[in-house]
Amino acid sequence: MNWIDTAAVYGLGHSEELVGKAIAGLPRAQRPYVFTKAGLVWEPEDPAASPRRIMKPASVRREVEESLRRLGVDHIDLYQVHYPDTGESLEYAGGGFGAVSPNATPLEKYWQVMADLKAEGKVRAIGLSNHTPDLLKAAERIAHVEVIQPPFSAINRSAAAEIAWAEAHGTGVIVYSPMQSGLLTGTFTAERAANLGADDWRSSHHDFTTGLTANLALAEALRPVAARHGVSVAEVAIAWTLAWPGLTGAIVGARTTRQVDGWIGAGSVTLTADDLAEIARAIGTTGAGQGPVRPA
C-alpha cells in the first residue's frame, strides 16, 4: 500500500495530524502518497455542529495551508474537492447533494482555485469527489480533472456514469465505501442492524432498514465466489469494484488490525467472467441496490 486517503474534516483536523505523525521522519522515497480534501468547513467554537460545504477561494486557500501544516509536508500529492459547494450543512455523506444556497460558490470559480494551487506547487494533482457527470464536464473545460472519487459498491452502483466519463477522459478513479459501510464484509447481520444506536446514521438509512434483507442476501451470495478464490467476502466485494474498467483504486478503512487482515488481499484477487456473471445474477435475484449489475 503506497497511499493514504484522509480529509481535513475527519476528526476536525485530528486525522491529518495522525497521518503527519505517521509519516514524519520517513525518507521521501519511502513515504506513501498523501491524499486529502477541502470543502467541508466546521466551526471551531461549535465542533458538534454539522460542517458546511464551502469552496470560496479564500476558504480553500486557508484550508490547504492548514492541511499542509497538520500533515507536516511541503505539498499534497492529491487534493480533492469533497463535495460541490452548496453553502449548506452536510447531513449524511451518502444522502445526496441537498439544496443549494444563494451563498454557494460556482464550480467554475472553485475549480480554478484548485488549478491555481497545482500551478503554485502546493498540490501535485487535483480531483473531484461526489461530483455528477455534468459537473465533471464543466470542470474539464477549465482544467483537467485528474481524479474522481465517488461512492461505489456492488450495492451502490449509481456512479457508473461518472466512472465511464473518467475512463473516456483519462481520469483516475478512486472509489469509496466498496463494502457499503460494512454490509458487504460478510460479518454484518440483521441482529447487529437492529441494535444500532439512534445516533448512528445507519439506524435510519435505507440500506440498513428496508433494504437490509436484500443487501445481506447479496453479501451471502458472494460466499461461493470467495470460497473458490480462498479469500474473504470483503475481498470479493472490493475486487468487484476494481474489476470495472477505469478503476484506479478503492478506499477501505478499518478500526482494528483484524479488520485489515480481512480485506488486505483484495488487490490480488482477479474475478473471472464467470464470477462476475454469478454476482450479476445475485444482484438481480436479490434486488440489492441500483445501477448496472456488472462491468462492461
Residue 46 has pLDDT above 80, yes or no: yes
Task: Report which residue type is found at 124.
Answer: R
**Residue 138: all three cell numbers together:** 464543466
185-209 exposure pattern, b = at least 16 Cβ within 10 A, e = fewer: bbebeeeebeeeeeeeebeebebbe
Angle at 229 between CA 227 and CA 232, to 5 degrees: 60
Looking at every residue in the chain, the average pLDDT score rounds to: 93
What does the pLDDT read at residue 151?
Answer: 97
Residue 31 has pLDDT above 60, yes or no: yes
Band (78; pLDDT cuts 50, 70, 90): very high
137-166 residue pLDDT tens: 999 999 999 999 999 999 999 999 999 999
Residue 85 has pLDDT above 80, yes or no: yes
Q: Give 123's DSSP letter.
A: B
Q: What is the Cα 115 distance to its own chain's centre?
A: 21
126-143 exposure pattern, b = at least 16 Cβ within 10 A, e = fewer: bbbbbbbeebbebbeeee
Task: Report which residue type is found at 91.
Answer: E
What does the pLDDT read at residue 284?
Answer: 96
Which pTM does this prediction carry? 0.91
Band (93; pLDDT cuts 50, 70, 90): very low
Mean pLDDT across the stretch 170-185? 96
What does the pLDDT read at residue 296?
Answer: 80
**Which domains are delineated in the chain?**
3-149 (3.20.20.100)
What does the pLDDT read at residue 100?
Answer: 56
For the ranges 28-32, 41-45, 168-172, the maximum mean pLDDT occurs at: 168-172
Residue 91 has pLDDT above 80, yes or no: no
**Residue 32: all three cell numbers together:** 506513501
Is the separation of the CB atoms in 249 and 230 below 8 Å?
no
Mean pLDDT across the stretch 177-185? 95
Q: Give 244's DSSP letter.
A: S
Residue 252 and residue 254: Cα distance in Å, rounded? Answer: 7
What does the pLDDT read at residue 89?
Answer: 56
Is the separation of the CB atoms in 37 and 93 below 8 Å?
no
What does the pLDDT read at residue 145?
Answer: 98
Mean pLDDT across the stretch 58-83? 97
Residue 92 has pLDDT above 70, yes or no: no
